[in-house]
Structure 1
Amino acid sequence: MRRLHLTLRALVIIAVILGLLWVGYALLRQRPQDLPWTRLDLSQPVGLFTGRKLAALTGERAQCLALLDRAGIAYTAMKPGGGEGQCGYADAVRLKAEKGMIALSPAGVAPSCPVVAALRVWEWQVVQPAAQRLFGQPVRSITHFGSYSCRRMYGRSQGDFSEHATADAIDVAGFVLADGHRISVVGDWKGEGKDAAFLREVRDGACDLFSTVLSPDYNAAHRDHFHLDQAERGATGWRACR
């Protein structure tokens, strides 16, 4: 028993030392985004806790809108709407057209604020850097299949409702570069060139920002799009990336 107590004490001491080293490392590198208690800043590079902090914005409308304001993101906050019961949204946001920013096509889509916040970080830190490196030009627009839809998961008649039912998801179908070149999930995912490499890189990068990322690697239902959502469980660390 005494040996067990000594072992537990040693483990606690090691954990404390490792924690202090981690905090010191993050502070010395000036990366507050790697610490769980620091305020989220959408302009900062993606950190260890960026995804969890974005997911924690679910249901926190005022806090999320203030975050968009601080980042200088132009948007229109939508009135609560949608269906009844488990369907409906209270924090939907429609992005405004901005010079130099990626547009969503169709433009009328209004995902929840946490999804919009993650989309902008994805654009700044993942999508545009990948496009510049692989193609030497930026992405002009992201094509999608929509956000809000009052339905259950995978179109079932029973079971849990999809994150689409609360506008906490968006289905990304492809990308259009500045010169008009189109990259589609359905047409380019299985390729071996730059288009396929780009799609895999932006899919992997999305996994650090969204609670759930589902691609053609998941199942046939996602053969033509990336499902990106900001489920509340993402704030606790349980994330899905396929």
Structure 2
Amino acid sequence: MPCLPRPFLLAAALVLTLGLASCGGGRPAAPPAPTAVSGLPTEGPACVVNLVAANVAFDRVTDFRNQRGCGITTAVSLYEGAAVPLNRPVKVSCGLAAAVLAWETQVLHPLAQRVVGQPLVKVHHVGGYVCRGRTSDRSRLSEHAHGRAIDVIAFEFADGRIARVAEHWDDRGPLGRFLREASQGACGVFQVVLSPNADAAHRDHLHLDVGPWKLCQG
């Protein structure tokens, strides 16, 4: 079981929640609409508090930087977003975790019901942080080297079906449609989205990052 971040963050999230609930004459506050991450803090305690308030399952881990310049600011080990677990924990920045949460809430959940007719129950990835250069230019650090990227390979649904990028991207049925629309929808949340439409290096996964550049090849 993942442990929650520092107690003062939980207290801050609780105060925030109670404050919102007290508005409107004591009536329960309506659930907030999904919000793009562009206006939300992506580093520091405020970002972590937002994850806590959204019931994201994660551990706060120690920030680090190595001699190559690789490292993560506001590092977390992410277990699941909005009640959908990852196949294994992934070490990323808080900003990347917030983007995964927004993507899951805004895009993946409604898309799974509309296209597949089943709830999404797991997101499969093959890594977040890794100290390496870019695929296109090894002399420049990848966003993976700062924990600002994740590579997603598949999505699992409640009936046991799994939409795999490597296998179903060109499929004309619901699994292929889900993958393509999930990729396109990610362009509204992440800064860079690279799919099999980008190049052969991404034939089996979706590269999603929150780096400084904007590029949608979903």
TM-score range relative to shorter protein: 0.7 to 0.9
In the TM superposition, what whole-angstrom CA distance separates every residue of 1:126-146 from its partner, at most 9, and x where no partner exists?
A: 111111112221111111110
| Cα-to-partner distance string for 1:175-199 (whole Å, 9 max, x where unaligned) | 1111211110010001111111101
- Checking the alignment, whether the CA contact within 8 Å between 2:183 and 2:193 is kept in structure 1 is yes
Deviation digits for residues 209-235 of structure 1, max 9, x if unmatched? 0010000000000000000001134xx
Matched, 1:117 2:108: no
Counterpart AA for 2:147: A
Asked whether 1:91 is paired with 2:74, we answer: yes
State the TM-score, normalized to the length of structure 2: 0.79
> Which residue of 2 is the match for residue 220 of structure 1?
200
- Quick one: distance in 2 between partners of 1:75 and 1:154? 28
User: Counting strand residues as a fraction of each chain, which structure ranks higher?
Assistant: 2
Cα deviation, residue 97, structure 1: 5.6
CA displacement at 1:95 relative to structure 2: 2.9
Higher helix share: 1
Rg larger for: 1
The reply to whether residue 163 of structure 1 matches residue 143 of structure 2 is yes
Aligned to 2:51: 68
Deviation of the 1:77 alpha carbon: 0.7
Alpha-carbon distance in 2 for matches of 1:162, 1:43 = 34
- 1:161-240 → structure 2 map (5 Å cutoff): 161-233=141-213, 239-240=214-215
Distance 1:51 1:208 in 2: 9
Q: 1:120 to 1:97 in 2, by over 3 A?
A: closer
- In 1, distance between residues paired with 2:65 and 2:85? 24
In the TM superposition, what is the alpha-carbon distance from 1:66 to its structure 2 partner?
1.8
> CA, structure 1 residues 164+43, in 2 after alignment: closer, same or farther (shift >3 Å)?
farther
Corresponding residue of 2:84: 102
Deviation at 1:172, TM superposition (A): 0.3
For residues 218 and 97 of structure 1, what CA distance do their matches in structure 2 show?
27
RMSD: 2.1
C-alpha change, 1:97 and 1:227, in structure 2 (3 Å) is closer
Q: Is the 8 A contact 1:139 1:178 kept in 2?
A: yes
Q: How many equivalent residue pairs?
A: 187
Kindly indicate whether the alpha-carbon contact (under 8 Å) linking 1:214 and 1:228 is maintained by their aligned counterparts in 2.
yes
User: Unaligned 5+ residue runs, structure 1?
Assistant: 1-41, 234-238
- Counterpart CA distance in 1 for 2:109 and 2:177 is 14
Identify the range of structure 1 (203-212 vs 134-143) with the bigger mean alpha-carbon deviation.
Answer: 134-143
* CA drift at 1:155: 6.8
With CA pairs under 8 Å and 6+ residues apart, which has the higher RCO, 1 or 2? Answer: 1
Mapped partners of 1:71, 1:153: distance in 2: 32
Q: 1:4 matched to which residue of 2?
A: none
- The residue identity in structure 2 corresponding to 1:45 is P
From 121, 130, 148, the equivalent of 2:111 is 130
Q: Residue 116 of structure 2 contacts residue 175 of structure 2 at CA under 8 Å; is this kept in 1?
A: no
Percent identity of the aligned residues?
38
